[in-house]
Amino acid sequence: MESKISIFLPTSNLCNLLVLVFFCFAACPSLGRLSFNFYATSCPAAELMVSNTVRAASSNDPTIPGKLLRLLFHDCFVEGCDASVLLQGNGTERSDPANTSLGGFSVIDSAKRVLEIFCPGTVSCADIIALAARDAVAIAGGPAFQIPSGRKDGRISNSANVRPNIVDTSFTMDEMIKLFNSKGLSLDDLVTLSGAHTIGLAHCSAFSDRFQQDSKGKLRLVDTSLDITYAKELIRKCPAGGSSTSNTVSNDPETSFAFDNQYYGNLLAHKGLFQSDSILLEDGRTRKQVEEFANNEERFFRSWGESFLKLTTIEVKTDNEGEIRQSCSFTN
């Protein structure tokens, strides 16, 4: 299979390419088990089919890119990038309360149906999730780049594995670092991948810990790191007594559906939606990178390509470790 790397390089030249190739194999232990253009022979139009499906869905619903990106995170952080989050049934990851607000499943299923028509039993659901999230970023205005494929679908999905392996929005910096490190991701990756919050929606319950209900039943701000004007807007959209599980707000209040570096500008303006966002500015270990990304979108995009590559190669399954599901919702 041909192995050709083409990733976002604004000042692309041979030296940059060689550095990136070295980075890929040095920083992603599982990368050697995957291949770029993996489906070049077995299903040449595979990536195009996924991309067209994502583009069509996103044109009808601008929230789709954010949903697909979040779906990838919840898949890869639990059992690795093996589409275990897609499996339905009692006690599966998908049934866990932390995953009930996930979306984008119908897009993955649509892409799978098309692929099964033209290339039956060839393209894994795990690869579809990774490719769809990659394409979602590009469709929303972010960088476009290639990622390797060849992942197999996992056969195990256990709800008990979800909570210990995903970031809670109330996490401290040390808790986030520990979790990211356990996935082979660095502090730089943590700051970069947090930039995924430049798109997507959040339920009011996800940041309710930043407010407190007073004796009169009204919400008041208790997290002083949050901009007061922004806090008032959040209270307006998430009133006390309202449904904190159904009401949603944009992760990025400025450019809600555009994948850009505005998220980091929001942090500098003390408008990070989650406590786990705001802490990136407050902690001396990450503040400099936040400031750099806020002032240099090209630098953020380049870093995103590198960190995304690492994310999508977490604990991948290949060969006999997994299967190619006929339906993404069920094992064969």
Residue numbers in the known binding site are 75, 78, 80, 82, 84, 93, 197-198, 252, 255, 260
Contacts of 227 (CB under 8 A, 6+ apart): 269, 270, 271
* 126: its two tokens: 């795990």
Other Cβ atoms within 10 Å of 161 Cβ, number: 16
Residues 263 and 255: their CA atoms lie apart, in Å, by 9
Residues 220 and 238: their CA atoms lie apart, in Å, by 12
Rg for the chain, CA atoms, rounded: 20
Known binding residues for heme b: 197
Contacts of 303 (CB under 8 A, 6+ apart): 188, 192, 293
Q: Are 199 and 69 in contact (CB under 8 A)?
A: yes
Residues 84 and 156: their CA atoms lie apart, in Å, by 7
Which entry of 20, 43, 66, 74 is annotated as an active-site residue?
74
**Kind plus residue range of the DSSP H or E element containing 147:** none
Residues 141 and 138: their CA atoms lie apart, in Å, by 5
From the list 189, 254, 209, 69, the residue with the least C-alpha distance to 264 is: 254
The angle, 0 to 180 degrees and rounded to 10, between the axes of the packed helices 64-76 and 125-139 is 140
Known binding residues for Ca(2+): 75, 78, 80, 82, 84, 93, 198, 252, 255, 260
Active site residue 270: no
Other Cβ atoms within 10 Å of 27 Cβ, number: 17
Q: In angstroms, how far is CA 225 from the centroid of its own chain?
A: 25
Q: Are 154 and 84 in contact (CB under 8 A)?
A: yes
* 313: its two tokens: 């190669």
Q: Would you give the DSSP letter of residue 210?
A: G
Q: Phi first, then psi: what are they for 85, rounded to 5°?
A: -70, -15
Catalytic residues: 74
